[in-house]
Amino acid sequence: MSKINLKALSKAAMEEFVKEQGLPAYRAKQILHWIYEKKAESIENITEFSRELRKRLSDIAYISNLELLKRQASEDGAEKFLFGLEDGESIESVLIPDADRHTLCISSQVGCAMSCGFCLTGGIGFKRNLKAHEIVDQLTAVMKVKSENLEVESSESKIPSHPPLLKGGTGGITNIVFMGMGEPLLNLDEVVEALLRITGFMGFSKRRITLSTCGIAPAISELYRKAPHVNLAVSLNAASDEVRNRLMTVNKKYPIRVLLDACRKIPLSPRDRITFEYVMIDGMNDSLSDAKRLVTLLRGISSKVNLIPFNLFAGSRFKRPSDERVLAFQEILVRGKIYTFIRKSKGQDILAACGQLKAGYK
């Protein structure tokens, strides 16, 4: 008989487990507290329980943990973590430090089925969905690694000088973005459960969490029905279906009009905005005409735009536009009264920037 992974249990399932063991109901709350707040790595760590109870539970259950396979540090301070899963698969997470925040970019799938032309992850193909606890464990594991200050492998075999983790947030991590490997809305149920655990069990503010989607239109409204109302980022990347079809296969099923209609129906609070991510590719989607069309498309949507100059990787057929081209594009959007920012990608030297995660797959 295989042991039960306590991290795989939802709150309701944990309560049922405790009941089946003939234990008082409050034991479920205690176990969840030790797993998500005290970061217990084994049942033996739950010192609030008697030695006899720990032994009894350890005979039938365990607490899983991600295995750190590799940790790399970029010259700019970003860190990439390669984690091994229980079935031998692997995923990557990225910690991005800034002046006033530490943002953790986490994965929701092993690989990705979307095959976006500008994304290295899509070349892996889809392996499987992550379970809720595997999503949440990326946060727990990075916090553990940082607290223990484990060895770092940098792009030049040197350990760069990193700022200390900030106070506040969860273990010093101030923001979480679902922008790692995979499409979160194609793993909706597990992502929703992960969000409930991160905000409920770990006390992380939903306003500091952003979920990025390539545009699974029907699942957008479903996300807002089921999950805490986190920030939404939509990977748009084109101002016409013709160009978006060439960059993103998802557009053939959910074209721009359908995607933006779904965005307009989101029940945003007055101060909320949808972020539209726009990877700029030289000669593909970076013309002034593209910028003008984008202004028209986003009219009436409470939004902001993140311009992301394409991050190069070996074998890509795309090129990064010039800085002048990016600035001219931004100027047109600003004139159209759209909040527009140019995202400076970190971790490019260790393939940790947007669209570069590959988790060691050849």
Q: Tokens 């030297």 — which residue?
A: 349
Instruction: Measure Cα distances from 120 to 60, 323, 359 in Å.
Output: 41, 23, 10
- Residue 92 annotated among the catalytic residues of the structure: yes
Q: Are 232 and 266 in contact (CB under 8 A)?
A: yes
Q: Tokens 């595997």 — which residue?
A: 134
Catalytic position from the list 105, 119, 263, 354: 354
- Give the residue from 219, 224, 250 showing the smallest Cα distance to 237: 250
d(Cα 294, Cα 276) in Å, to the nearest integer? 10
d(Cα 188, Cα 211) in Å, to the nearest integer? 11
d(Cα 233, Cα 356) in Å, to the nearest integer? 18
d(Cα 27, Cα 17) in Å, to the nearest integer? 10
Q: What's the N-to-C CA distance of the chain in angstroms?
A: 36
- Residue 354 annotated among the catalytic residues of the structure: yes
* CB contact set of 141 (below 8 Å; sequence gap of 6+): 65, 66, 68, 81, 83, 93
Catalytic position from the list 92, 183, 193, 277: 92
Residues with catalytic function = 92, 354
